[in-house]
Structure 1
Amino acid sequence: MAQFSQFPIISKKYQSALATVAELHKFQMRKDATAYLPHLMMVSSLLMEMGCSEELAIAGLFHDSLEDLENPLEIAELIETQFGKYILYLVKGVTENKELPTEQRKLDYIKQIFDGPIEVVYISFSDKWHNWCHGYARQPKLVKKPVIEFYAKLIPIFQDRLCNSVGQFYLQELINSFESISKSVF
């Protein structure tokens, strides 16, 4: 069952997770050459805004750590040791297998989200919302057919599973932008 809270709590555990993520991703950049850390913070922040638990917000901070950083086994051990098995479970639930070819990796990710618990859907949605609305929507020329096809398969999952009014608001924003940009790609 999804863990939701009416008020976000910024505990020492969350602060520690933020400091850890900042250290782990300190040299990572986004495709547009901006620092990566704000993306992780935005995903976490959106989860808090939707009323998700602190554990989901912490998992949101780490959502890309296993797939983007070297030594994923060491990173997984660090997450489990410092923040718990449940947070590691959530992070694994939104981690793509980078060893697979891109097309297969994306199909596996979609299945993972479709079959996953609601918490994983919320983390995935927060990540994909931020990637789209603060990435692709700002630079529509970067949107290629495989990106459209990927989002076209994820959006129905989000429509079926997001049960929160704040999440529904952000989902509609994503859908509106997606429909507008996808028309120009095809």
Structure 2
Amino acid sequence: MLSERFTAAVDYARIAHAGQTRKCTPIPYIQHLLAVASLVLEHGGDEDQAIAGLLHDVVEDCGESHAGVVGERFGERVLAIVLGCTDGTAEAKAGFDDDVSRRRDWLRRKQAYLNHLAHASDDMLLVSGCDKLHNARAIVGDLERPEVGQGVFARFTGGRDGTLTYYRLLADLFTQRGAAMAGALEREVERMYALAGEQHRAA
């Protein structure tokens, strides 16, 4: 059963991410957060993990000041998962103001995050995997839309090749760790590669 803590987390996420939308779309950002929480529950997660799904981007996208509030209001376990899902804070990302430095920072952060996932707790692994699964489904959905197609990759700092490689490595890692959503993520990544005109490339 979900308690009032979950309801409070929905409201916290709604307020913290107010005005934010999914990349280059009018979709309110909370749609992604609700979807991740739903996937966490679908794949066997408990209330703390679902709350972390709602809040997993709050430090990364809204600022470091949220960390203390999340810990105080929702507990240290939730905070640990949120911090584990964070590959860079809003403040740190704001320090890169040109394409070359942003790309260099993106590569550094993604490699560090993959290394982190290899040893992350099962708690955090579930939430992170559900986040990546929803993102992969969104990319596949846009690839299937004629008005977007491969233009979707222009939204990402890693571009087409960097984004494809990152999701291939993520899918392989979650499979190796035996994560609950690994099969679903693998299918989305295979579809992503097919729609992008690439064959499957194992890591």
Structures share fold, TM-score greater than 0.5: yes
List 4+ stretches of structure 1 deviating above 4 A: none
Corresponding position of 1:96: 87
CA distance in 2, matches of 1:154, 1:44: 19
CA distance in 2, matches of 1:86, 1:24: 20
Task: Find out whether 1:147 has 2:163 as its counterpart.
Answer: yes
Task: Find out whether 1:56 has 2:56 as its counterpart.
Answer: no
SS of residue matched to 2:118: helix
Correspondent of 1:105 among 99, 102, 109: 109
Matched-pair identity in %? 25
CA distance in 1, matches of 2:179, 2:87: 24
Corresponding position of 1:41: 34
CA distance in 2, matches of 1:55, 1:63: 12
- What CA RMSD, in Å, does the superposition of the two structures yield over aligned residues? 1.9
- The worse-fitting range, judged by mean Cα deviation, of 19-28 and 92-101 is 92-101
CA distance in 1, matches of 2:53, 2:178: 16
Corresponding position of 2:96: none
CA distance in 2, matches of 1:54, 1:27: 26
C-alpha contact 1:94 1:120 (8 A) present in aligned 2: yes
Task: Find out whether 1:171 has 2:185 as its counterpart.
Answer: yes
**Does the C-alpha gap of structure 1 residues 22 and 174 become closer, same or farther in structure 2, counting only changes over 3 Å?**
same
- The worse-fitting range, judged by mean Cα deviation, of 113-122 and 57-66 is 113-122
Corresponding position of 2:3: 11
Relative to the length of structure 1, the TM-score reads 0.85
- Alpha-carbon offset, residue 163 of structure 1: 4.6
CA distance in 2, matches of 1:113, 1:95: 11
Relative to the length of structure 2, the TM-score reads 0.79
CA distance in 2, matches of 1:127, 1:156: 15
Unpaired segments ≥5 residues, structure 1:
1-8
C-alpha contact 2:175 2:183 (8 A) present in aligned 1: no
Corresponding position of 2:72: 81
Corresponding position of 1:26: 18
Unpaired segments ≥5 residues, structure 2:
94-104, 144-149, 154-159
C-alpha contact 2:129 2:182 (8 A) present in aligned 1: no
